[in-house]
Structure 1
Amino acid sequence: MKLGYHLGYWSSGPPAGALEAIVRAEELGFDSVWTAEGYGSDAFTPLAWWGASTSRIRLGTNIVQMSARTPTATAMTAMTLDHLSGGRFVLGLGASGPQVVEGWYGQPYARPLARTREYVDIVRKVVARERPVTHEGDFFSLPLAGGTGLGKPLKSTVHPLRSHIPIHLAAEGPKNVALAAEICDGWLPLFFSPKSDAFYRTALAEGFARRPEQAQPEHFEVAASVPVIVHDDVEHAAALIKPSLALYIGGMGAKGVNFHHDVFARMGYEEVADTVQEHYLAGRKEDAVAAIPTSLVEDTSLIGPAEKIREELSAWEETVVTTLLVRGDAATLQSVAEVLSASS
């Protein structure tokens, strides 16, 4: 199992020590580094700026929000970064949710899976650069239908370094996970648990079955964001993670339309998730955090003494996950690498 470093998206400004941590991750042999975006910093710029100080580690977005850019604009950036990094770029895409898509980008959210399918198809066409790009779909039209009539199919002036740039899809629901297996090169789960492995294997198998024989991926990646905290006190480690879980379970989406909440409900924590959401949406954030049991944290994280983490890692190694994406500063990455490498 590979290790990756996930910086996430910025809060009020650039994270302190990010460049140091990225350089250290490469020195430690981490396979990849990933950036994200919400509705503040973007994912591409930090990846290019900090990635310029590296030479080997793969550079990925986890994730770029599709509603933020047209498919051709995303493909242009992907080809540019792939050239500048010497073929190390991985394009991680995601639909986000209606609050951000409609509230921040002013774009419609309806039928996100169908929109994703068209989006990925156009990006593939641009990067392949086999012919001028055309597309007639429900969401995208190239050239634009009903415009001035002067638009014409175009082919990128830039020749891609690689005619196939890996595309990974962030997904939580079973239909979206299946879509990742059908049309992409990897899946980016946010809240994965070994207990849910069979559920996701079924969804992935459904997607793989829809691919043509010649389009089966040689290596399909599953890069899961997994908090890893090495600490002698399990409860202390869990307490560091619970506020973030409360935000996602309770506050990232409206009641009834929160995909993160649904993940934990399927995991067997439906009552807990409902309680957390009720508290959070009512402004009782401390109560929301307090409602999260440590067992929920342990199901989706690797926390506690080094020996405990090494023992629990075996369960993760038996899942579909191929890469653990960890967070933290340079010192955290060092301790995580030491613990996880000692178990291999």
Structure 2
Amino acid sequence: MTLGITIPLGMSLPEHATVLPRLAESGYDEFWSSETAGFDAFTPLVHAAAVLPGARFGTAIAGVFQRGPALLAMSAAGLAEAAPGRFTLGVGAASPAIVERWNGIPYRRPVRRVRESVEFLRAALAGEKLPNGFRLERPPATPPPILVAALRPTMLRLAGSLGDGAILNWLSADDVATVVPYVHEGGPGKRVAARVFLCPTDEPDAVRAAAKRLITGYLTVPGYADFQRFLGRSERLEPMWRAWQAGDRRAAVQAVEDALVDELFVIGTPAECAAHVRRYVHNGVHVPVLAFVPLDPSRDTVTDAIAVAEHYQR
């Protein structure tokens, strides 16, 4: 019953020194980072590794465009040394907004970039000398497995063939059965992690209204929009996309169905949330990585996270 959680949790890193042990005691085995506009993928995990000497850690994800492959290998090697045998390197292409607009780096041929990065990382973390002359001075004693963030078939197959598995995002529990077969085409033993957005609450209607704004912000990004089309949601999301393209943000939010929110977000009491997360596992996810989204200001995230973990283990 492996259970992961996304950190940090809306508090300073020093405050996590007392919170992380409580989360581990409640049932979280793995602690994963994200990388958008908060912290980078590695710093929170280095801090957590010093606090939790027995836990597992993972990046979901470290972008391959924002870093050169040698720097990415060095960062991964440092974390693999801090948590020997307990670190998973998750990499991915991120999005044009993050890569081009925020970092000023051309976003070209993402599949090729991910493939070449994984090949480089695999060799570098094994201590090999690369054709460009780079060799890690301190390769980890146990090279970390490499998971690839993937949405559609081409990247999912790459995750299963070249990587050790995939990291999924923005999909329902039922969608898992559609996606994971592409990963397993790469052979047995592939690991599948999925970021699952949770909003524990006693006021689901209010939370759904806030979640709709997040859905419009993400699912209008071309990559995520294409993913939803692949999953068969074109007809349901077309009104939202049309309103967004017309510049009517309010209409776009209103076009999102409540039923869609309940598919892409886990909403309800901690017990209901835990039961929903189990559906992801039943359908093929090995590591559900819970991402608590603070859409209900009356809730305490740590208290809810502990409650969800305790119900999940029952």
TM-score range, shorter chain: 0.7 to 0.9
Instruction: Determine if contact 2:275/2:312 at 8 Å carries over to the other structure.
Output: no
Structure-2 residue corresponding to 1:332: 304
Change (3 A) 1:266 1:118: closer
Residues 7 and 18 in structure 1, CA contact (< 8 A), matched pair in contact too: no
Partner of 2:103: 105
Calculate the aligned-residue CA RMSD, in Å: 2.7
Q: For structure 1, which segment, 43-52 or 230-239, has the greater mean C-alpha deviation from structure 2 after superposition?
A: 230-239
Q: What's the offset of the Cα at 1:59?
A: 1.7
How has the CA–CA distance of structure 1 residues 19 and 154 changed in structure 2, closer, same or farther, with 3 Å as cutoff? same
| Cα pair distance change 1:183/1:289, threshold 3 Å | same
8 Å CA contact retained: 1:66, 1:93? yes
Q: Is the 8 A contact 2:270 2:311 kept in 1?
A: yes
Q: Residue 224 of structure 1 contacts residue 321 of structure 1 at CA under 8 Å; is this kept in 2?
A: yes
Structure 1 residue 206 displacement after superposition = 3.2
* Preserved CA contact (<8 Å) 1:8 1:37: no
Does structure 1 residue 53 correspond to structure 2 residue 25? no
Q: State the alpha-carbon separation in 2 of the partners of residues 195 and 110 from structure 1.
A: 32
Aligned residues of 2:271 and 2:308 also touching (Cα < 8 A) = no
In structure 1, runs of 5+ residues without a counterpart are: 135-141, 143-152, 209-215
The within-5 A match list for 1:284-299 is 284-299=248-263
Q: Distance in 2 between matches of 1:315 and 1:46?
A: 29
Q: Secondary structure at the match of 1:246?
A: helix
CA–CA separation in structure 2 for the residues paired with 1:9 and 1:185: 28
Mapped to 2, the partners of 1:315 and 1:39 lie a distance apart of: 30
CA distance in 1, matches of 2:130, 2:87: 22
Distance in 2 between the 1:8 and 1:243 partners?
Answer: 22
> 1:5 touches 1:22 (CA, 8 Å); kept in 2?
no
The residue that corresponds to 2:2 in the other structure is 2
Cα displacement (A) at 1:198: 3.5
Paired residues of 2:213 and 2:253 also in contact (CA < 8 A): yes
Aligned length: 306
Distance in 2 between residues matched to 1:37 and 1:309, nearest whole Å: 24
Instruction: Quickly say closer, same or farther: Cα 1:14–1:94, change in 2 above 3 A.
Output: farther
CA displacement 1:132-162 (0-9 Å, x = unmatched): 221xxxxxxx1xxxxxxxxxx2432214221
Q: Which residue of 2 aligns with 1:70?
A: 68
What amino acid sits opposite 1:156 in the alignment?
A: L
Per-residue CA distance 1:216-263 (angstroms, 9 max, x = gap): 5x4x2211111233334442443343222121013xx3xxxx121222
Normalised by the length of structure 2, the TM-score is 0.86
Change (3 A) 1:159 1:48: same
Partner deviation per Cα, 1:264-285 (whole Å, 9 max, x = no partner):
2333332342332343455543
Q: Is the 8 A contact 2:196 2:266 kept in 1?
A: yes
The counterpart of 1:133, out of the listed 130, 133, 136, is 130
Q: Alignment identity in percent?
A: 28
Between structure 1 and structure 2, the one with the greater Rg is 1
Q: Are 2:165 and 2:183, in contact at CA under 8 Å, matched by a contact in 1?
A: no
Which residue of the other structure, out of 205, 208, 233, is the alignment partner of 1:235?
205
Q: How does 1:9-28 map to 2 (within 5 A)?
A: 18-28=16-26
Structure 2 partner of 1:266: 230
Which of these residues, 161, 174, 191, is aligned with residue 141 of structure 2?
161
AA partner of residue 4 (structure 1):
G
Aligned residue among 152, 155, 158 for 1:176: 155
**Partners of 1:90 and 1:166 within 8 A in 2:** yes
Work out which of the residue numbers 163, 188, 196 in structure 2 matches 1:226: 196
- The answer to whether the Cα contact below 8 Å between 1:173 and 1:259 also exists between their aligned partners in 2 is no
Q: Is the 8 A contact 1:22 1:33 kept in 2?
A: no
- Gaps in structure 2 of 5+ consecutive residues: 293-300
**Alignment partners' CA distance in 2, 1:68 and 1:169:** 16
Q: Per the alignment, in what secondary structure is the counterpart of residue 192 of structure 2?
A: strand
Q: Is the 8 A contact 1:171 1:189 kept in 2?
A: yes
- Once the two structures are superposed, residues 293-319 of structure 1 have per-residue CA deviations (whole angstroms, 9 ceiling, x without a partner) of 121122223322456446545533321
Kept in 1: contact 2:281–2:287 (CA 8 A): no
Whole-angstrom distance in 2 between the partners of 1:20 and 1:169: 31
Q: Give the superposition deviation at 1:179.
A: 0.7
Give, as a single letter, the amino acid of the residue that structure 1 aligns with 2:162: I
User: Partner residue of 2:178?
Assistant: 199
**Aligned 8 A contact 1:23 1:53 in 2:** yes
Residues 143-202 of structure 1 deviation map (CA, whole Å, 9 limit, x = unaligned) = xxxxxxxxxx2432214221x211111111111111101111221111122332342133
What one-letter code is carried by the residue in structure 2 that aligns with 1:49? H
SS in 2 for 1:245: helix
What SS does the corresponding residue of 1:122 show, helix, strand or coil?
Answer: helix
Report if the CA contact (8 A) 1:9-1:38 is conserved.
Answer: no
Deviation at 1:80, TM superposition (A): 1.1
With normalisation by structure 1, the TM-score equals: 0.79
Tell me the secondary structure at the aligned position of residue 52 of structure 1.
Answer: helix
CA distance in 2, matches of 1:93, 1:242: 27
